[in-house]
Amino acid sequence: MRIALFITCFNDTMFPRTGRAVTALLERLGHTVEFPQGQTCCGQMHFNTGYRPEALPLVRRFAEVFAGYDAVVAPSGSCAGMVRGHHRVVAAQYGDPALAEAVDRVVPTVYELSELLVDVLGVTDVGAYFPHRVTYHPTCHSLRMLRVGDRPLQLLRAVKGIDLVELPDAGSCCGFGGTFALKNADVSNAMLSDKMRHVQDTGAEFLCAGDNSCLAHIGGGLSRLRTGVGTLHLAEILAATEGHTR
């Protein structure tokens, strides 16, 4: 299968290791990964903060750059959610029928990583090895926008050597919320402190999630308090194999 990787602007800049992990994982499973160099950003920050005209060129670019692939994979629940949930809204609002058509064509090919693996590629055991205690935080947009359900957990449970522990109150938001973390910094911190407490209660070495933006928020707090708990994107655990792990 010819799969385009939509790395997302945030991962591209801050967490390229996640992109390399997705590439390694999909190639290990026998698929061809392509990285369209024209890609930039899904426009989520602009759309969710109220800057729709500024999101329009990004929506247009996405539809152009990612047209024609068997599948497009994004290692981010919220960016995949933005494309699937809101690109049509932006295209419709600015009354451009050609763009709306292009968006309609590309949207059904876009998957979050766990969706691609479980639903499209039909695999839950990806042959990973990760001998560590891990807890999983189901990020809000994966859970309630994309409805990925327990797909990430199916994938993690099949990882060899992993000690997967349940995160208490897992479904509640970590308090990141994009620009919310800046506009409502105090509430964001109040939510963050509860999430960090739950993570630490599990005794996990690593907190895993399908979205590096939520992880940067929770992990940033865990790092500031020197908890020693690390954060890892789902792709990085799934890409780890015997002999190639941390």
Partner 1 sequence: MSGADNVVWLGAPAFPEAARGALADTRLRANLRRATGTIRDKRLAVTAELEDWEELRETAAAVKRHTLRHLDHYLLRLEEAVTAAGGTVHWAADAAAANRIVTELVRATGEREVVKVKSMATQEIGLNEALADAGIRAYETDLAELIVQLGDDRPSHILVPAIHRGRSEIREIFRREMGEWGRPAPDTLTDDPRDLAEAARLHLREKFLRAKVAVSGANFAAADTGTVVVVESEGNGRMCLTLPETLITVMGIEKVLPAFADLDVFLQLLPRSSTGERMNPYTSLWTGVTDGDGPSSFHLVLLDNGRTATLADEVGRQALACIRCSACLNVCPVYERTGGHAYGSVYPGPIGAVLTPQLVGVENAASLPFASTLCGACYDACPVKIDIPEVLVHLRAEVVEAERRSRLLPTPEALAMKAASAVLSSPRRLAAVQRLAVLGARLLSRDGRIGALPGPFARWSGTRDTPVPPRESMRAWWRRTRTGTRDEGRTETEGKERR
Sequence-ordered list of residues with C-beta below 8 angstroms from that of 20, at least 6 positions apart, any chain: 239
CB of 122 to partner 1, least distance (A): 26
| Torsional sign, CA 164, 168, 169, 175 | negative
What residue type is assigned to position 54 of the chain?
Answer: E
**In angstroms, how far is CA 149 from the centroid of its own chain?**
14
What is the closest distance, in whole angstroms, from the C-beta atom of residue 114 to partner 1 in the complex? 18
- Cβ nearer to partner 1, comparing 98 with 190: 190
Quote the distance between the C-alpha of residue 136 and its chain's center: 13
Query: Of 12 and 163, which CB lies nearer to partner 1 in the complex structure?
Result: 12
Going by C-alpha positions, the residue among 192, 52, 31, 193 that lies closest to residue 123 is 31
Write out the residues near partner 1 by the rule CB under 8 A: 7, 9, 11-14, 16-17, 19-20, 34-41, 43, 45-52, 54-55, 57-58, 61, 64-65, 68, 86, 140-141, 143-145, 171-173, 175-192, 216-217, 219-221, 223-224
- 163-165 and 32-34 as β-strands: parallel, antiparallel, unpaired? unpaired
Least CB distance from residue 124 to partner 1, whole Å?
26
**Closest separation in Å from C-beta 72 to partner 1:** 12
We find the least distance from the C-beta atom of residue 125 to partner 1, in angstroms, to be 27
Helix axes 52-65, 97-106, angle to 10 degrees: 60
| Residue 34 Cα distances to 5, 31, 72, 221, angstroms | 6, 10, 9, 34
Q: Whole-number minimum distance, CB 57 to partner 1, in Å?
A: 5
Spell out where 65-165 has E strands: 71-74, 110-112, 133-136, 163-165
Comparison of 37 and 243: residue with beta carbon closer to partner 1: 37
Beta carbon nearer to partner 1, 11 or 114: 11
Q: Choose between 103 and 181: whose C-beta lies nearer to partner 1.
A: 181
Of 64 and 96, which CB lies nearer to partner 1 in the complex structure? 64
